[in-house]
Structure 1
Amino acid sequence: MQKLMLDYFEKKLNCEKKRIEELLKLMIKNETIGSKSEISSELSLYDNHPSDIATELNDIERGMAFSENEKSMLKKIDRALENVKNNTYGICKVCGKEIPEERLDFLPYAEYCVECQNNFSNLKQRNIYDRPVEEEVLGYPFGKGKDSNKYDTGFDSEDSYRAVESYNEIHNVDENYEPEADYVEPIEKISNEQYKNQLPD
Protein backbone atom coordinates (compact mmCIF):
# COMPACT_ATOMS: atom_id res chain seq x y z
CA MET A 1 0.00 0.00 0.00
CA GLN A 2 1.23 3.48 -0.82
CA LYS A 3 2.52 5.76 1.93
CA LEU A 4 -0.19 8.34 1.25
CA MET A 5 -2.98 5.77 1.74
CA LEU A 6 -1.28 4.36 4.86
CA ASP A 7 -1.21 7.85 6.37
CA TYR A 8 -4.87 8.33 5.47
CA PHE A 9 -5.92 5.07 7.15
CA GLU A 10 -3.70 5.70 10.18
CA LYS A 11 -5.39 9.07 10.65
CA LYS A 12 -8.80 7.46 10.23
CA LEU A 13 -7.96 4.75 12.80
CA ASN A 14 -6.72 7.34 15.31
CA CYS A 15 -9.94 9.38 14.87
CA GLU A 16 -12.04 6.25 15.45
CA LYS A 17 -9.96 5.36 18.51
CA LYS A 18 -10.43 8.85 19.95
CA ARG A 19 -14.20 8.68 19.30
CA ILE A 20 -14.51 5.35 21.15
CA GLU A 21 -12.41 6.57 24.09
CA GLU A 22 -14.63 9.68 24.36
CA LEU A 23 -17.72 7.47 24.23
CA LEU A 24 -16.37 5.25 27.05
CA LYS A 25 -15.65 8.34 29.19
CA LEU A 26 -19.17 9.63 28.52
CA MET A 27 -20.69 6.26 29.44
CA ILE A 28 -18.79 6.30 32.76
CA LYS A 29 -19.85 9.92 33.41
CA ASN A 30 -23.51 9.09 32.68
CA GLU A 31 -23.22 5.93 34.82
CA THR A 32 -24.18 3.71 31.89
CA ILE A 33 -21.21 1.50 32.76
CA GLY A 34 -19.37 0.81 35.98
CA SER A 35 -22.05 2.24 38.27
CA LYS A 36 -23.53 0.34 41.17
CA SER A 37 -24.83 3.46 42.93
CA GLU A 38 -28.48 2.43 42.83
CA ILE A 39 -27.77 -0.99 44.30
CA SER A 40 -25.22 0.22 46.86
CA SER A 41 -27.46 3.10 48.03
CA GLU A 42 -29.63 0.69 50.01
CA LEU A 43 -28.62 -1.12 53.17
CA SER A 44 -30.25 -4.35 52.04
CA LEU A 45 -31.76 -5.75 48.87
CA TYR A 46 -33.87 -8.15 50.92
CA ASP A 47 -36.96 -5.93 51.10
CA ASN A 48 -36.95 -5.04 47.40
CA HIS A 49 -39.28 -6.67 44.93
CA PRO A 50 -37.41 -9.26 42.81
CA SER A 51 -38.36 -7.43 39.61
CA ASP A 52 -36.66 -4.25 40.89
CA ILE A 53 -33.46 -6.17 41.55
CA ALA A 54 -33.76 -7.84 38.12
CA THR A 55 -34.13 -4.43 36.44
CA GLU A 56 -31.03 -3.09 38.19
CA LEU A 57 -29.08 -6.23 37.29
CA ASN A 58 -30.22 -5.95 33.67
CA ASP A 59 -28.97 -2.35 33.54
CA ILE A 60 -25.57 -3.43 34.89
CA GLU A 61 -25.33 -6.31 32.39
CA ARG A 62 -26.32 -4.04 29.48
CA GLY A 63 -23.67 -1.52 30.55
CA MET A 64 -21.07 -4.28 30.70
CA ALA A 65 -22.04 -5.46 27.19
CA PHE A 66 -21.71 -1.90 25.82
CA SER A 67 -18.35 -1.50 27.52
CA GLU A 68 -16.98 -4.84 26.27
CA ASN A 69 -18.11 -4.08 22.72
CA GLU A 70 -16.28 -0.75 22.70
CA LYS A 71 -13.16 -2.29 24.30
CA SER A 72 -13.18 -5.00 21.63
CA MET A 73 -13.28 -2.30 18.94
CA LEU A 74 -10.33 -0.54 20.61
CA LYS A 75 -8.30 -3.77 20.53
CA LYS A 76 -9.00 -4.20 16.82
CA ILE A 77 -7.98 -0.59 16.15
CA ASP A 78 -4.77 -1.03 18.17
CA ARG A 79 -3.92 -4.15 16.15
CA ALA A 80 -4.58 -2.25 12.91
CA LEU A 81 -2.33 0.64 14.04
CA GLU A 82 0.39 -1.89 14.90
CA ASN A 83 0.01 -3.34 11.40
CA VAL A 84 0.44 0.16 9.93
CA LYS A 85 3.75 0.47 11.78
CA ASN A 86 4.86 -3.03 10.66
CA ASN A 87 3.84 -2.37 7.03
CA THR A 88 1.36 -5.27 7.13
CA TYR A 89 -1.80 -3.15 7.17
CA GLY A 90 -4.45 -4.07 4.62
CA ILE A 91 -3.30 -7.69 4.22
CA CYS A 92 -5.77 -10.49 5.01
CA LYS A 93 -4.67 -12.59 8.00
CA VAL A 94 -5.93 -15.82 6.39
CA CYS A 95 -5.16 -15.78 2.67
CA GLY A 96 -2.51 -13.03 2.61
CA LYS A 97 -4.22 -11.09 -0.20
CA GLU A 98 -4.65 -7.33 -0.08
CA ILE A 99 -7.93 -6.12 1.42
CA PRO A 100 -9.67 -3.73 -1.04
CA GLU A 101 -9.34 -0.06 -0.12
CA GLU A 102 -13.14 0.35 -0.33
CA ARG A 103 -13.54 -2.20 2.48
CA LEU A 104 -10.83 -0.53 4.57
CA ASP A 105 -12.43 2.86 4.01
CA PHE A 106 -15.70 1.51 5.38
CA LEU A 107 -14.10 -0.67 8.10
CA PRO A 108 -10.54 0.58 8.71
CA TYR A 109 -9.77 -2.13 11.29
CA ALA A 110 -10.84 -5.01 8.98
CA GLU A 111 -8.50 -8.00 9.37
CA TYR A 112 -9.91 -10.23 6.63
CA CYS A 113 -10.80 -9.81 2.98
CA VAL A 114 -14.47 -10.13 1.97
CA GLU A 115 -14.11 -13.75 0.82
CA CYS A 116 -12.44 -14.96 4.03
CA GLN A 117 -14.92 -12.98 6.16
CA ASN A 118 -17.80 -14.62 4.28
CA ASN A 119 -16.25 -18.04 4.93
CA PHE A 120 -16.19 -17.24 8.66
CA SER A 121 -19.77 -15.97 8.58
CA ASN A 122 -21.01 -19.07 6.74
CA LEU A 123 -19.63 -21.50 9.32
CA LYS A 124 -22.45 -23.67 10.63
CA GLN A 125 -23.81 -22.36 13.91
CA ARG A 126 -24.21 -24.95 16.65
CA ASN A 127 -27.80 -25.95 17.19
CA ILE A 128 -29.28 -26.46 20.67
CA TYR A 129 -30.12 -30.02 19.59
CA ASP A 130 -26.57 -30.78 18.45
CA ARG A 131 -25.03 -33.51 20.53
CA PRO A 132 -21.31 -33.91 21.25
CA VAL A 133 -19.49 -36.04 18.69
CA GLU A 134 -18.21 -38.27 21.50
CA GLU A 135 -21.71 -39.68 21.96
CA GLU A 136 -21.46 -41.44 18.60
CA VAL A 137 -18.52 -43.43 19.95
CA LEU A 138 -19.57 -43.79 23.59
CA GLY A 139 -23.26 -44.43 23.00
CA TYR A 140 -25.81 -44.06 25.80
CA PRO A 141 -24.81 -46.27 28.72
CA PHE A 142 -27.90 -45.36 30.79
CA GLY A 143 -30.39 -44.72 28.00
CA LYS A 144 -31.76 -41.38 26.79
CA GLY A 145 -34.55 -41.22 29.36
CA LYS A 146 -37.36 -43.13 31.01
CA ASP A 147 -38.82 -44.38 27.70
CA SER A 148 -35.56 -45.22 25.93
CA ASN A 149 -35.45 -48.83 27.15
CA LYS A 150 -39.16 -49.65 27.25
CA TYR A 151 -38.65 -53.33 26.57
CA ASP A 152 -35.27 -53.68 28.23
CA THR A 153 -34.85 -54.64 31.87
CA GLY A 154 -31.35 -53.17 32.00
CA PHE A 155 -30.03 -50.43 34.25
CA ASP A 156 -31.68 -47.29 32.87
CA SER A 157 -31.78 -43.61 33.91
CA GLU A 158 -34.50 -44.20 36.52
CA ASP A 159 -32.46 -47.00 38.10
CA SER A 160 -29.40 -44.74 38.21
CA TYR A 161 -31.46 -42.04 39.98
CA ARG A 162 -32.65 -44.54 42.58
CA ALA A 163 -29.12 -45.80 43.11
CA VAL A 164 -27.87 -42.27 43.76
CA GLU A 165 -30.89 -41.47 45.94
CA SER A 166 -30.11 -44.42 48.21
CA TYR A 167 -26.98 -42.57 49.41
CA ASN A 168 -29.10 -39.58 50.43
CA GLU A 169 -30.95 -41.28 53.26
CA ILE A 170 -30.65 -40.07 56.84
CA HIS A 171 -30.93 -42.95 59.28
CA ASN A 172 -33.30 -42.76 62.29
CA VAL A 173 -35.23 -39.91 60.62
CA ASP A 174 -38.59 -40.35 58.94
CA GLU A 175 -38.35 -38.47 55.63
CA ASN A 176 -41.74 -39.52 54.27
CA TYR A 177 -44.72 -37.17 54.57
CA GLU A 178 -47.65 -38.65 56.42
CA PRO A 179 -50.94 -36.89 55.65
CA GLU A 180 -52.47 -37.94 58.98
CA ALA A 181 -49.60 -36.34 60.92
CA ASP A 182 -50.41 -33.07 62.70
CA TYR A 183 -48.12 -30.31 61.45
CA VAL A 184 -50.01 -27.35 62.92
CA GLU A 185 -48.14 -25.17 65.40
CA PRO A 186 -49.77 -25.07 68.84
CA ILE A 187 -50.41 -21.31 68.61
CA GLU A 188 -52.31 -21.81 65.36
CA LYS A 189 -54.69 -24.29 66.96
CA ILE A 190 -56.48 -21.48 68.76
CA SER A 191 -59.81 -20.87 67.09
CA ASN A 192 -61.36 -17.45 66.55
CA GLU A 193 -64.03 -18.29 69.12
CA GLN A 194 -61.40 -19.04 71.78
CA TYR A 195 -59.63 -15.81 70.91
CA LYS A 196 -62.86 -13.77 71.21
CA ASN A 197 -63.62 -15.37 74.56
CA GLN A 198 -60.27 -14.12 75.91
CA LEU A 199 -60.98 -10.49 75.05
CA PRO A 200 -62.26 -8.24 77.86
CA ASP A 201 -65.97 -7.32 77.63
Structure 2
Amino acid sequence: MTSLNGAQLRELDGLLREEKQELEAHFEREDAAGGFRQSETAATGELSAYDNHPGDLGTETFERERDMAIDERLRQRLEEVEAARERLANGTYGRCETCGEPIPFERLRAMPAAARCAKHASDTLSEERPVEEQVMTPPPAGAGAGRQSHAGRFDEADAWKSLEEYGNASGTVRTDEDV
Protein backbone atom coordinates (compact mmCIF):
# COMPACT_ATOMS: atom_id res chain seq x y z
CA MET A 1 0.00 0.00 0.00
CA THR A 2 2.97 2.35 0.60
CA SER A 3 5.93 3.03 -1.68
CA LEU A 4 8.42 2.83 1.20
CA ASN A 5 10.68 -0.21 1.52
CA GLY A 6 11.26 -2.14 4.75
CA ALA A 7 14.50 -0.36 5.70
CA GLN A 8 12.87 3.04 5.23
CA LEU A 9 9.85 2.03 7.30
CA ARG A 10 12.12 0.78 10.12
CA GLU A 11 14.11 4.04 10.06
CA LEU A 12 10.93 6.13 10.18
CA ASP A 13 9.47 3.94 12.93
CA GLY A 14 12.65 4.51 14.95
CA LEU A 15 12.35 8.29 14.45
CA LEU A 16 8.71 8.21 15.58
CA ARG A 17 9.55 6.12 18.67
CA GLU A 18 12.41 8.45 19.56
CA GLU A 19 10.23 11.55 19.25
CA LYS A 20 7.46 9.91 21.29
CA GLN A 21 9.92 9.03 24.07
CA GLU A 22 11.28 12.60 24.14
CA LEU A 23 7.80 14.10 24.37
CA GLU A 24 6.69 11.66 27.07
CA ALA A 25 9.88 12.34 29.03
CA HIS A 26 9.13 16.07 28.89
CA PHE A 27 5.67 15.55 30.41
CA GLU A 28 7.02 13.13 33.04
CA ARG A 29 9.61 15.71 34.16
CA GLU A 30 6.94 18.37 34.30
CA ASP A 31 4.59 16.15 36.31
CA ALA A 32 7.40 15.36 38.75
CA ALA A 33 8.04 19.09 39.20
CA GLY A 34 4.37 19.77 39.94
CA GLY A 35 3.42 21.10 36.52
CA PHE A 36 0.69 23.72 36.51
CA ARG A 37 -1.26 22.17 39.37
CA GLN A 38 0.34 24.62 41.80
CA SER A 39 -0.89 28.15 42.19
CA GLU A 40 1.29 30.83 40.70
CA THR A 41 2.26 32.05 44.17
CA ALA A 42 3.34 28.55 45.23
CA ALA A 43 5.21 27.99 41.98
CA THR A 44 7.27 31.15 42.45
CA GLY A 45 8.00 30.43 46.11
CA GLU A 46 6.57 33.76 47.23
CA LEU A 47 4.43 34.01 50.34
CA SER A 48 2.28 36.70 48.81
CA ALA A 49 1.84 38.34 45.44
CA TYR A 50 0.96 41.66 47.08
CA ASP A 51 4.47 42.64 48.13
CA ASN A 52 5.87 42.33 44.63
CA HIS A 53 6.03 45.00 41.99
CA PRO A 54 3.15 44.54 39.50
CA GLY A 55 5.72 44.09 36.72
CA ASP A 56 7.19 41.09 38.54
CA LEU A 57 3.78 39.46 38.77
CA GLY A 58 3.12 40.27 35.11
CA THR A 59 6.39 38.64 34.12
CA GLU A 60 5.56 35.49 36.12
CA THR A 61 2.10 35.34 34.53
CA PHE A 62 3.55 35.77 31.04
CA GLU A 63 6.16 33.05 31.64
CA ARG A 64 3.54 30.64 32.97
CA GLU A 65 1.15 31.25 30.06
CA ARG A 66 3.99 30.85 27.55
CA ASP A 67 4.95 27.51 29.15
CA MET A 68 1.32 26.39 29.02
CA ALA A 69 1.11 27.26 25.31
CA ILE A 70 4.32 25.35 24.61
CA ASP A 71 2.96 22.33 26.50
CA GLU A 72 -0.28 22.47 24.52
CA ARG A 73 1.69 22.41 21.26
CA LEU A 74 3.83 19.52 22.53
CA ARG A 75 0.65 17.58 23.44
CA GLN A 76 -0.64 18.13 19.89
CA ARG A 77 2.72 16.94 18.56
CA LEU A 78 2.51 13.80 20.71
CA GLU A 79 -0.96 13.10 19.30
CA GLU A 80 0.41 13.52 15.76
CA VAL A 81 3.24 11.09 16.48
CA GLU A 82 0.84 8.53 17.97
CA ALA A 83 -1.47 8.88 14.95
CA ALA A 84 1.52 8.32 12.63
CA ARG A 85 2.47 5.18 14.55
CA GLU A 86 -1.12 3.94 14.17
CA ARG A 87 -0.95 4.58 10.41
CA LEU A 88 2.35 2.67 10.36
CA ALA A 89 0.71 -0.27 12.15
CA ASN A 90 -2.33 -0.42 9.85
CA GLY A 91 -0.38 0.07 6.60
CA THR A 92 -1.58 3.57 5.63
CA TYR A 93 1.59 5.37 6.68
CA GLY A 94 3.40 7.30 3.95
CA ARG A 95 0.28 8.18 1.96
CA CYS A 96 -1.27 11.66 1.84
CA GLU A 97 -4.58 11.75 3.74
CA THR A 98 -5.95 14.23 1.20
CA CYS A 99 -4.96 12.87 -2.23
CA GLY A 100 -3.70 9.36 -1.39
CA GLU A 101 -0.41 9.87 -3.24
CA PRO A 102 2.82 8.60 -1.64
CA ILE A 103 4.64 11.10 0.59
CA PRO A 104 8.32 11.29 -0.43
CA PHE A 105 10.75 9.56 1.93
CA GLU A 106 12.78 12.77 2.31
CA ARG A 107 9.71 14.60 3.67
CA LEU A 108 8.93 11.76 6.06
CA ARG A 109 12.53 11.67 7.25
CA ALA A 110 12.35 15.41 8.02
CA MET A 111 8.83 15.17 9.47
CA PRO A 112 8.07 11.56 10.42
CA ALA A 113 4.55 12.38 11.63
CA ALA A 114 3.56 14.07 8.34
CA ALA A 115 0.09 13.00 7.27
CA ARG A 116 -0.04 15.00 4.05
CA CYS A 117 2.21 15.62 1.06
CA ALA A 118 3.81 19.03 0.69
CA LYS A 119 1.11 20.10 -1.77
CA HIS A 120 -1.68 19.52 0.79
CA ALA A 121 0.24 20.36 3.98
CA SER A 122 -1.37 23.80 4.25
CA ASP A 123 -4.88 22.27 4.23
CA THR A 124 -4.74 22.06 8.02
CA LEU A 125 -3.98 25.76 8.54
CA SER A 126 -6.88 27.73 9.91
CA GLU A 127 -8.11 30.95 8.34
CA GLU A 128 -9.85 31.93 11.59
CA ARG A 129 -8.98 35.25 13.19
CA PRO A 130 -8.68 35.77 16.96
CA VAL A 131 -12.01 36.27 18.72
CA GLU A 132 -10.75 39.56 20.18
CA GLU A 133 -10.93 41.12 16.73
CA GLN A 134 -14.73 40.86 16.86
CA VAL A 135 -14.94 43.35 19.72
CA MET A 136 -12.07 45.67 18.87
CA THR A 137 -12.95 49.22 17.94
CA PRO A 138 -11.05 51.19 15.33
CA PRO A 139 -8.52 53.71 16.66
CA PRO A 140 -9.69 57.31 17.13
CA ALA A 141 -9.41 59.70 14.22
CA GLY A 142 -6.03 61.37 14.12
CA ALA A 143 -4.17 58.33 15.45
CA GLY A 144 -1.41 56.65 13.51
CA ALA A 145 -0.79 57.63 9.91
CA GLY A 146 -3.82 59.95 9.88
CA ARG A 147 -2.21 62.03 12.62
CA GLN A 148 0.26 63.55 10.14
CA SER A 149 -2.50 64.77 7.85
CA HIS A 150 -4.15 66.62 10.79
CA ALA A 151 -1.04 68.58 11.80
CA GLY A 152 -3.02 71.79 12.37
CA ARG A 153 -5.14 70.28 15.14
CA PHE A 154 -4.29 70.46 18.84
CA ASP A 155 -1.39 68.20 19.71
CA GLU A 156 -0.91 67.16 23.33
CA ALA A 157 2.84 67.62 22.88
CA ASP A 158 2.22 71.39 22.62
CA ALA A 159 0.09 71.49 25.76
CA TRP A 160 2.71 73.53 27.66
CA LYS A 161 2.59 76.31 25.06
CA SER A 162 -1.19 76.41 25.37
CA LEU A 163 -1.13 76.53 29.18
CA GLU A 164 1.77 78.91 29.79
CA GLU A 165 -0.32 81.93 28.85
CA TYR A 166 -2.43 81.38 31.98
CA GLY A 167 0.52 81.90 34.32
CA ASN A 168 1.88 79.86 37.16
CA ALA A 169 0.90 79.13 40.77
CA SER A 170 2.07 82.54 41.97
CA GLY A 171 -0.34 84.27 39.62
CA THR A 172 2.29 85.78 37.38
CA VAL A 173 2.10 85.37 33.67
CA ARG A 174 5.31 84.34 31.92
CA THR A 175 6.29 85.95 28.69
CA ASP A 176 8.79 85.01 26.06
CA GLU A 177 11.28 87.48 27.63
CA ASP A 178 11.15 85.53 30.94
CA VAL A 179 12.41 82.37 29.28
Q: 1:21-41 deviations in whole A, cap 9, x for unaligned?
A: 22333455567x536476124
**Equivalent pairs: percent with the same residue?**
33
What is the Cα-based RMSD across aligned positions, in Å?
A: 3.3
**1:52 corresponding residue in structure 2:** 56
1:57-96 equivalent positions in 2, closer than 5 A: 57-96=61-100
State how many pairs are aligned: 130
For residues 127 and 31 of structure 2, the distance between their equivalents in structure 1, rounded to whole angstroms, comes to 37
**1:5 corresponding residue in structure 2:** 8
**1:174 corresponding residue in structure 2:** none
- Return the structure number with greater relative CO, CA threshold 8 A, min gap 6: 2
- Could you say what secondary structure the match of 2:80 adopts? helix
- Could you say what secondary structure the match of 2:76 adopts? helix
**1:109 corresponding residue in structure 2:** 113
For residues 60 and 130 of structure 2, the distance between their equivalents in structure 1, rounded to whole angstroms, comes to 31
For residues 56 and 66 of structure 1, the distance between their equivalents in structure 2, rounded to whole angstroms, comes to 15
Largest Rg, 1 or 2: 1
For the structure 1 residues 127 and 76, does the alpha-carbon distance in structure 2 shift closer, same or farther, using more than 3 Å as the test? closer
1:115-134 equivalent positions in 2, closer than 5 A: 115-118=119-122, 126=129
For residues 91 and 62 of structure 2, the distance between their equivalents in structure 1, rounded to whole angstroms, comes to 43
TM-score (norm 2): 0.59
For residues 46 and 56 of structure 1, the distance between their equivalents in structure 2, rounded to whole angstroms, comes to 13
Q: Is the 8 A contact 1:92 1:99 kept in 2?
A: yes
For the structure 1 residues 68 and 47, does the alpha-carbon distance in structure 2 shift closer, same or farther, using more than 3 Å as the test? same
For residues 37 and 118 of structure 1, the distance between their equivalents in structure 2, rounded to whole angstroms, comes to 38
Gaps of 5+ in 1: 132-143, 145-201
For the structure 1 residues 95 and 27, does the alpha-carbon distance in structure 2 shift closer, same or farther, using more than 3 Å as the test? same
Q: Which amino acid aligns with 2:20?
A: K
TM-score (norm 1): 0.53
1:127 CA drift (Å): 9.2
Indicate yes or no: 2:23 matched with 1:20: yes
For residues 3 and 89 of structure 1, the distance between their equivalents in structure 2, rounded to whole angstroms, comes to 12
1:45 CA drift (Å): 2.6
